[in-house]
Chain A
């Protein structure tokens, strides 16, 4: 399954997504976003683990929020991938 990305992500002062584009529409965050951190199983894919790389290999910033566009309101779980700084949409339910 192809991973869908949220693009044009604008952040608020706390680093939470305030707005982003998905499937050609602009979404505005409409609930208080909840940040949490998940972990990844780095030993399955990493080719190195130099000092300084540990955090990005071990954990990922995750956001849970409601956001609305002109067509509807969705619950999103976003995965903020570093160091690429990309926003993967892990879940989007209307």
Chain B
């Protein structure tokens, strides 16, 4: 006898179901079910995973949803199941029902549908079946008010006259006799079905696979109710588990008290189940790539021919002065790629991405490709990527292989500030019926799990906070084990021995781990489909208002959806701003994509290691590597970005590469055939592309096959097969055993360590662009960096870098500053004006009013029209933003800033006078008299105000004040370190701008500190002993003096091996006392 569960909540019923779809499908298959439904609450979040899991365990998938239905009276929740094998009619109806029900989500409205709305989906034919079960209002009436229950059934039947629309769900949870879910209750539901002619089915309204899961369900109920256990009505018992057919049969018999009737009940259930079995391909478009129609892309004719045309005609654009031989290479490569694309049927896909890229460029938004997509010549010619794959030696096969049929990922980076604008434009261009955003499910991790566990047990918030604070970098499922190992949890561990609830908390926290918590918008994914998209995925409103699919990124491949990652990158915004300022101030039209990639001045600047503000290479580690590496060409940037990645770093590739580059060792190419492949990295295998080429050369396989084997290398189970093939094929091609073994030993260890060169090269483009701007337009570039704040350092360090570069900085001025860092003409040169937004606590409306009302005649005028708060006004005065408008700038000024402060305090003490046109001139004259004779504020205090109010030292570097002492002590400036011999005792001082404690292979902690003294950065390394001398200083103090020995790490690389550190302020006080 077959039986399929028709009412099953998975963990994707957030805060309700306990098990993931994969677990449920495996369990159903193990108990011999023919099929299994997933009927999550309020959405189809787990549906694709369920279908995939059912396919892989060989059972038939059923999909439904559990929705709240409203009418004149509350109708409770029902399950709606999609019918299958009807060319997607059931699936599409279900998707549309869910989308409508969730369309009002947010703004405190819950997901629900009126019965009228639901009925509109059933007008012509029943593509779905509605189950009226335990959670429907019918269930509450059937025992107490049988008459009303019958009327309610008639009402449902009137609304859904189409045969097959309705079924009554019999659930026997064996609760206390007479209550909902009891055998008696189930019998009454069955009798009601018989009396009203509605068919009856039996389900178990499943929430967990095993009864054990009921405890987890209790905790989830608490999280859903937002109340501790005990303060709400809990589930009646632990019967809602995925029972095997024998148990279901026993339950049915108990309800019917008749063997034949119980058989009929189960047969009816299986009959409905088989109506609902989905055909994933026919019903859901499983595994079939979908792209916008030609008309939506504005093309006519064969897409492949269009792609052929477009790419070939772009050769001239990308390769304007190409020689015949190179042209042949390009054309050959292009043909190869086009053949693959045609074979896979992806022409429309590429045209779509190209269309989006073109649209973004037409919006004058900066765009660059990231990832393996840069390996494709088609992408380069279509303007999707900015990297020439032929020149950079990238491989198309790493990106797209005929051995895989899933749509490749093309990720594009855009200006972060304009990302949402792009999403909206994509919706407009292709229509809301072809586009949705992507969603993602956040799941319980350590802290979230302990919080919700603590809530369930009614623990105090403070106590939970304390525990959560100490949960670092481990998953909740290992809580018990970690408790006995992590020193920061020792105290809590001890408490669990005596405190029952805390011990309980550990167990329930473990139970919550990895369960889905809530859905949110994916940070960069957009789904582009054809006009049937909304028949294939349910959507709901995202945080930014546009609809998002209820499916996540892992669901894209199985559903055949084209997902475009449009990632916001702040550096792109900074560069776009820079270009805009160059145009505004210097009237120079700059196209960054066309600047010379071999500009020696740019590489010279990078080699100084002053890489602050450069994309990807500004971190202390990258700066040190820059010093050692000394890049001279574009490929060096690709190399450097790729090497400084977890894989290559763990694979220990940097040192042999540098040794080879600087001629310390002779590169070992292992065999003369591999020389061409490995020359760029001095014999070290760094890139996936290199490995693929080695496989090709030594075994004669195709590059596509080589990429497949590269993927298999990372999987221990499959690596052996690759080894056997490699050794045999290489031997057959005449390579000696010695060479084969040697090469294999390198390839074998490569698996997880290598890096995709296309990705490195794609990143190197913005790196080069940012370096180019910093070299040729430092003022404008600094203004862009400060405005869009990319990078890892505090803003004040960018000011220090600006001063070092000779970029003029102008303080905040209410007549000139805006909410951005503007470039201003100043003394025949250009300078950066600090933005108003830097004033701590200034509100957006205040900033807007100031910008709107500019310029101001005097302080009173400013006060009256800009209407700043008292605090803001005072802060503006303290940082000198009112100096110009108050006329107290320059030597000749009669008044000083103290006078101004007295004045504004007087102003602010009274209520602001109403703006009255008649009185205005009179008042202004009266009010605009500054007092005289207040003692001027010292330069030192001015700087302190600046630091306190803007967190930046704008007028001068804060280290200057200590300069006399530092000179006396013989402290070396950061910029001078490079000229000092290795192993020399030195003192360095400055503002701590970065502290890093990366995990070390030895397990010992090493602290890296970067100090800024206005001449550059001094990097100091603290090992164990040095840390013990001064460890608390290293993490707390902003101003430090460090002693140690210089250590040359390369041509331009130098760092300080620290011995000790002191608090600079403390030294200053002592020095001043001695001096006086």
Contact = CB atoms under 8 A, between A and B. Distances in A.
**Chain B interface extent, by class:** 20 to 34
A67 to B, nearest CB: 17
Residue among A39, A42, A64 facing the most chain B CB atoms (10 A cut-off): A39
A49 B215 contact: yes
Contacts of B503: 47-48
Interface stretch (B233-241, B547-555, B1021-1029): B233-241
A59 B177 contact: no
Given A48-B504, A49-B215, A59 B237 contact: yes
A44 B230 contact: yes
A60 B210 CA distance: 15
Contact of B214 (A43, A48, A55): A55
Contact of A39 (B212, B216, B237, B510): B237
A36 B175 contact: yes
A80 B456 CA distance: 27
Chain A contact-residue range equals 20 to 34
Contact of A51 (B212, B235, B236, B238): B212
A3 interface: no
Interface of A: 34-39, 41-44, 46-55, 57-59, 62, 64
B848 interface: no
A46 B238 contact: no
A55 B211 CA distance: 5
Given A46-B504, A47-B500, A47-B503, A37 B237 contact: yes
A45 to B, nearest CB: 8
B211 A59 contact: yes
Interface string B210-225: 1111111010000000
**Per DSSP, are chain A's interface residues mostly helix, strand or loop, or mixed?**
mixed
Given A43-B230, A54-B210, A54-B215, 12 more contacts: A36-B177, A36-B183, A37-B173, A39-B236, A39-B238, A42-B218, A51-B507, A51-B510, A58-B215, A59-B214, A59-B239, A64-B177
B816 interface: no
Contacts of A39: 234-238
B253 to A, nearest CB: 11
A34 B177 contact: yes
Nearest to A51: B212
8 contacts: A36-B174, A36-B177, A37-B174, A37-B238, A38-B176, A46-B504, A48-B504, A55-B238
Contact of B229 (A36, A41, A52): A41
A35, A52, A59, A62 — which one has the most chain B CB atoms within 10 A of its CB? A59
A41 B230 contact: yes
B211 A48 contact: no
Contacts of B214: 54-55, 58-59
Contacts of B947: none
A49 B235 contact: no
B507 A49 contact: yes
A57 B238 CA distance: 10
B503 to A, nearest CB: 6
Nearest to A60: B237
Contacts of A38: 176, 236-237
B471 interface: no
B496 to A, nearest CB: 10
B508 interface: yes
A59 B241 CA distance: 13
Contact of B456 (A36, A43, A51, A57): A43
B710 interface: no
B1013 to A, nearest CB: 57
B215 A36 contact: no
B788 interface: no
B775 interface: no
Contacts of B903: none
A36 B183 CA distance: 8
Interface string B500-524: 1001100110110000000000000
A54 B183 CA distance: 23
Nearest to A14: B250
B955 interface: no
B842 interface: no
Contact of A49 (B210, B236, B508): B508
Nearest to B236: A39
B250 to A, nearest CB: 9
Nearest to A47: B500
A87 B176 CA distance: 18
